[in-house]
Amino acid sequence: MTFVVADALPPFTLNFGLDIQVMLRYDFMRQAFIAGAILSVLAGLVGYFMVLRHQVFAGESLSDVAFTGALGGAVIGINPFVSLLITTVAVGLGMSVFGERLRERDVAIGTVLAWIMGLGAFFLNLFTTQVSGTGTGFSGITILFGNILDISVEQLRLISIVSGLTILALCLIARPLLFASLDPDVAAARGIPVRFLGAGFMILLAITVAEATMAVGAFLAFALLLLPAALAHQTTSRPFVALSLALIFAVVLTWLGLTIGFYTGYPSSVCITLLAFISYLCTVGTIHVRAWLQRSNYLRQPA
């Protein structure tokens, strides 16, 4: 893996075609753009349903679970991706089984999260003091924040396969899942397996978190799940339009963040999440300002 020294990079210009050509000269940037697009599409689609089903807390908790699972695999000596995939899927199913209703689910997730965070701290201590021998905790920081610029060809291939299968599974259950998410009581009365769909979605959410964590870190994985979907929900109330917008927002924000990180030297994960957060604030602010102006104009009209 060859990293680029910031001082050796040509400056950013307004010639966007040239700027893109400069970035794509490097193998690691090409792989980052491709992997970022694939993960963004997956995260945008899954994240839309996560926000719609009020399972943001579950997504954040699974990110913490992925951190613990990866460190646990490193301590035990098995493949970290295998360990975190098994851990996140198992915990995701547990969350679904213990609580389907919102209040029950929050209690179940909070209980699991408290235990998982303690276990993660324990694994981090074991890994840094006994396995790696450095005692610095750098590996834990890497798992949390990741490095999208360090994705190998093998990882890119795995990302493509797992993402493709997960997107296919989500597309197959999208319509009944949407119905069950909007009105679970009516959906159950019409014979739709609400609990089965909820468990299936938690598995897809867990797979998405696990895959994204190994590629870009738990921090960016959760940001990609939440912020583009939240933007889409603020933009439109039409479900399939919002689904499309969520994946578009995720891809655009990821590519812009990668570009900013390349030309500034700042971590790409920070650039992507900060850009997404600013976009969300601007969107929400615009909506509130527009509503305030409409109310003001209405009050000024003569009776």
Distance, CA of 223 to CA of 273 (rounded, Å): 6
Residues 6 or more apart in contact with residue 299 via CB below 8 angstroms: none
Q: What pLDDT, on a 0 to 100 scale, did the predictor assign at position 139?
A: 52
| Alpha helices for 53-152 (secondary structure H) | 56-76, 80-98, 102-126, 138-145
Closest CA to 44 of 270, 279, 254, 258: 254
Q: Where are the domains of the chain?
A: 6-296
| Number of Cβ atoms within 10 Å of the Cβ of 214 | 23
Residues 6 or more apart in contact with residue 8 via CB below 8 angstroms: none
Closest CA to 206 of 64, 107, 80: 64
Q: Among all chains, which residue has been given the structure tokens 């213990």?
A: 98
Q: What pLDDT, on a 0 to 100 scale, did the predictor assign at position 269?
A: 83
C-alpha distances in Å from residue 224, one per residue of 2, 3, 48, 63, 145? 26, 25, 11, 11, 13
Q: Among all chains, which residue has been given the structure tokens 């020294």?
A: 5
Model pTM score: 0.82
Report the interhelical angle of 218-235 vs 268-300 (nearest 10°): 20
Burial class (CB in 10 A: 0-12, 13-18, 19+), 47: buried
Segment 98-105 long-range contacts (CB within 8 Å, at least 24 positions apart):
100/184, 100/194, 100/195, 100/198, 102/54, 105/55, 105/57, 105/58
Fold of 6-296: ABC transporter involved in vitamin B12 uptake, BtuC (1.10.3470)
> pLDDT tens across 251-283, in order?
999 999 999 988 888 888 888 888 989 999 998
* Spans in the chain with pLDDT lower than 70: 1-10, 98-109, 112, 130-146, 298-303
Question: Residues 222, 208: contact at Cβ < 8 Å?
Answer: no
Q: What pLDDT, on a 0 to 100 scale, did the predictor assign at position 292?
A: 83
